[in-house]
Amino acid sequence: QAAVEYADEEGPQRDVVFADAVSGELVARHPQIHRVKNRKVYSANSGTKLPGSVVVSEGGSTGDKVAQAAYDLSGVTYDFYASQFGRDSFNGAGATIHSTVHYSKNYVNAFWNGQQMVYGDGDGYYASPFAQDLDVVAHELTHAVTQYEASLVYQNQSGALNEAMSDIMAAAADAYKNGVSAKTWLLAETCWTPGVANDAMRYMANPTQDGQSYDYYPERYTGQQDNGGVHINSGIANLAFYLLSQGGKHPRNKTNTVVPALGIDKAAQIFYRALTNYLNSNATFQDARNATAQAAAELYGADAATAVHAAWTAVGVPG
């Protein structure tokens, strides 16, 4: 699905023509799309009042390295969604992307608050500034996309799927920007524990490596912490996506299912189509299995749907 015409940011507004994924015909999608990014980055100046004071707006630049990173990486994420999915910003209609950096003091997190992104600078030990990590920016902006699409409720299984969509699109954005490598499957490795080499916040190819994530549906967390395990059970779907992309088996041999590799581009198209067309706000893992299989069949045919089923079977989600 390649854009064969691309409107310059400065140039006239033109339709973008895509090869239709189903028919192979060239079709104009999203004819209203203008593909002019609208970004605004603010500083909370180590406080917690939002959005704070404006540091850089679209077309500008700043000497504040962290604010510049928030600006640049929200631009990379915008370009990822526009070029891969024909999507114009998080709401699909060109919404301005607002980001606040330097939030609070020694703040080891980042979040989407329903209206904007917010980034801590970390504490220098567990994390360096979160806005400098593309995985984090794409993860948080995908929470906004999910809010406007499936609106997955942020608890229990639907919450774990919400979290997994953010990790999955972070990996796909990383691959879009940097190509596929072992690092594609590490999440937030750029900002996480700056003093420890080669580690990451989460591991999509082997989710339990972080010491808290789960990767096998029959063993899923059903307690109350973390909104019912949204950042714990996300590992189940993260691993399904990894296996669908790269192929292979469950890393701890929980099942013997061998998953054929579709590549990350097709896998991302499948998950995006499920998120935007089929998942509803209370979706379960089983619903995600059915939604992604449906999307795969429509986009790439029966063999792709079979691969999707294998990926979910490999992580223990029943058909």
Binding site for ligand ASN (CB under 6 A): 109-111, 139-140, 143, 163
In eight-state DSSP terms, residue 274 is I
Q: Which is nearer to ligand ASN, 140 or 259 (CB)?
A: 140
Catalytic (active site) residue 231 = yes
**Least distance (Å) between residue 50 CB and ligand ASN:** 15
**Least distance (Å) between residue 66 CB and Zn ion:** 20
Structure tokens at 319: 């058909």
Which residue in 73, 78, 191 sits closest to 145, CA to CA? 78
Contact set for Zn ion, span 127-186 (CB under 5 A): 166
Rounded CA gap, 27 and 21, in Å?
10
Size of the site for Zn ion (CB under 5 A): 1
Query: Secondary structure of the chain: what % helix, strand, coil (to 5)?
Result: 40, 10, 45
Which residue in 149, 139, 140 sits closest to 117, CA to CA? 140
Which residue in 72, 70, 73, 92 sits closest to 81, CA to CA? 92
Which member of 140, 149, 163, 189 is catalytic? 140
Contact partner at residue 35 from ligand ASN, Zn ion, none, CB < 5 to 8 Å by partner kind: none
**Least distance (Å) between residue 43 CB and ligand ASN:** 19
Contact partner at residue 116 from Zn ion, ligand ASN, none, CB < 5 to 8 Å by partner kind: none
**Least distance (Å) between residue 30 CB and Zn ion:** 26
Is residue 313 near Zn ion by the rule CB under 5 A? no
Give the list of residues 6+ apart from residue 85 with CB closer than 8 angstroms, or none: 269, 272
Contact partner at residue 164 from Zn ion, ligand ASN, none, CB < 5 to 8 Å by partner kind: none
Structure tokens at 239: 């691993």
Rounded CA gap, 275 and 63, in Å?
37
Q: Which is nearer to Zn ion, 166 or 184 (CB)?
A: 166
Catalytic residues: 140, 231
List of residues contacting Zn ion (CB under 5 A): 166
